[in-house]
């Protein structure tokens, strides 16, 4: 992250010309309510312009991109850099996130080619399609075990589907893929949850800092053990990975493992949670899926478009001035690409974007990004959601929300890059045999 935690979920507008005059009103309401449903706000921004000069709540300037065409182009534009170290040296407007610290700050999301090319190739070699596909039957087994746990609490019990299903599934998968021992997963998961939670007070930041220190210590100790005694897991594969004479150095190794474990569970947790909510709130669509489970892949893609797990892309800054629709992003300017808004841009991305339509054939989305930084874990995330959603809905044909829809809150994450349900209370109903 490149904005201070206290301000990560808030924008305040700068009004540099007449078209920006309405932006102050539009963005002044950004807060907890808009985190629950930011799409009306995004729609207002798209109507005004494709890109907006904004001020982050910590006082730093940024440029927010909200339309599909401009977002897709900029995601693959070499005039935008992801090199955090160079950005810090270039501009006083860039603020480095303090957690989890520099030891974990050299992965493929914060570097440019040729370093990005080298790092991605090294990781891709260990994160292969074959390795991912081999996980399918095991993922199905994990899903079944989690569903049995829900059955055990009783058909009319109130269950938090995030804590009992949407989180432990991808977290267990990525831990097993990386080689995190069973007895270390619970404290690691608790530490990551605290570390990734929004912080707006000194006490909350102190808890996040303590959790960050714990996570760093746990992962560094695990890497040391794998270096001394390799096993058949992804951490060992990353330690051994070579690209010619090149290997991951220690900071790159630590940073990459941290990136994979966060990206490998948090966003998929949100995807599963968002998918369940979307279907429960659209019973006609849910009935159609129940009548034809072969539509599951289409459902997952529509959920990715409809309620993107990652609302904004990770850090980028302009290495030279970029003009878009009369607005100049200056060299050194931080650029925030709104993936969720872009995927709702009509007609560029789709028609009737605010409608959930599992039969959609014209839908385009940027949920996994675009270009050289396209999400490496997209196949795994898709697989997990495609297995989890039908298994859950088949096992619990009467599944329903335990609270009114307006009581659901997307309070997990910083609200900018990460936005997930705080909890998802449901009543499972009788389990199918």
In a 10 Å sphere around its CB, with 0-12 CB exposed, 13-18 middle and 19+ buried, how is residue 402 labelled? middle
CA dihedral (273, 275, 276, 281) in degrees, to 10, reads 120
| pLDDT tens-place string over residues 370-429 | 999 999 889 999 999 999 999 999 999 999 999 999 999 998 876 678 889 999 999 999
| pLDDT value for 135 | 87
| pLDDT value for 417 | 84
Instruction: Name 334's bridge partners.
Output: 317
The mean pLDDT value of the chain amounts to 86
Greatest mean pLDDT among 47-56, 200-209, 333-342 lies in 333-342
Handedness of CA 94, 197, 391, 274 (dihedral sign): negative
CATH class for domain 5-427? mainly alpha
| Secondary structure letter of residue 334 according to DSSP | B
pLDDT band (50, 70, 90) for residue 98: low
Rounded Cα–Cα distance for residues 7 and 314 (Å): 15
| pLDDT value for 308 | 95
CB atoms within 10 A of CB 236: 18
CA distances from 254 to 106, 239, 258, 299, 325 (A): 8, 10, 6, 35, 41
pTM attached to this predicted model: 0.89
| pLDDT value for 57 | 65
- Looking at per-residue pLDDT, the higher value among 58 and 337 belongs to 337
| pLDDT value for 89 | 66
Q: Is 155 helix (H, G, I), strand (E, B) or coil?
A: coil
Residue ranges of domains in the chain: 5-427
The pLDDT of 173-201, averaged and rounded, is 88
């Amino acid at each position: 992250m490149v904005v201070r935690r206290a301000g990560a979920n808030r924008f305040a507008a700068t009004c540099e010309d007449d078209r920006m005059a309405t932006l102050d009103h539009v963005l002044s309401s950004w807060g907890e309510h808009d985190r629950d449903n930011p799409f009306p706000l995004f729609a207002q921004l798209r109507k005004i312009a494709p890109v907006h000069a904004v001020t982050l709540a910590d006082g730093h300037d940024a440029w927010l991109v909200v339309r599909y065409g401009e977002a897709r182009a900029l995601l693959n534009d070499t005039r935008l850099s992801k090199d955090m170290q160079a950005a810090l040296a270039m501009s006083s407007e860039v603020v480095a996130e303090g957690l989890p610290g520099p030891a974990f700050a050299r992965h493929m999301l914060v570097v440019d080619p040729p370093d990005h090319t080298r790092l991605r190739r090294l990781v891709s070699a260990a994160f292969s399609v074959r390795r991912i596909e081999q996980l399918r039957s095991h993922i199905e087994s994990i899903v079944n075990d989690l569903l049995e746990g829900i059955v055990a609490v009783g058909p009319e019990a109130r269950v938090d589907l995030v804590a009992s299903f949407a989180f432990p599934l991808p977290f267990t998968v990525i831990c097993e893929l990386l080689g995190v021992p069973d007895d270390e997963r619970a404290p690691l998961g608790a530490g990551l949850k605290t570390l990734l939670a929004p912080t707006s007070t000194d006490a909350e930041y102190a808890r996040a800092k303590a959790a960050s220190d714990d996570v760093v210590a746990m992962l560094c100790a695990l890497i040391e053990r794998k270096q001394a005694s390799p096993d058949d897991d992804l951490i060992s594969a990353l330690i051994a990975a070579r690209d010619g004479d090149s290997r991951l150095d220690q900071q790159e190794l630590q940073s990459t493992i941290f990136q994979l474990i966060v990206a490998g569970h948090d966003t998929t947790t949100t995807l599963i949670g968002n998918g369940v909510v979307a279907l429960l709130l659209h019973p006609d669509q849910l009935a159609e899926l129940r009548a034809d489970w072969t539509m599951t892949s289409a459902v997952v893609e529509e959920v990715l478009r409809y309620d993107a797990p990652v609302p904004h892309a990770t850090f980028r800054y302009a290495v030279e001035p970029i003009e878009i629709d009369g607005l100049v992003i200056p060299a050194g300017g931080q650029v925030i690409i709104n993936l969720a808004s872009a995927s709702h841009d009509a007609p560029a991305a789709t028609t009737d974007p605010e409608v959930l339509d599992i039969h959609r054939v014209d839908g385009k989305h940027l949920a996994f990004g675009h270009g050289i930084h396209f999400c490496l874990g997209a196949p795994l995330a898709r697989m997990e959601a495609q297995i989890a959603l039908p298994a859950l809905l088949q096992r619990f044909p009467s599944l329903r929300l335990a609270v009114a829809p307006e009581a659901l809150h997307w309070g997990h994450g910083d609200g900018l890059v990460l936005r997930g349900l705080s909890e998802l209370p449901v009543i499972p109903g009788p389990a199918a045999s």
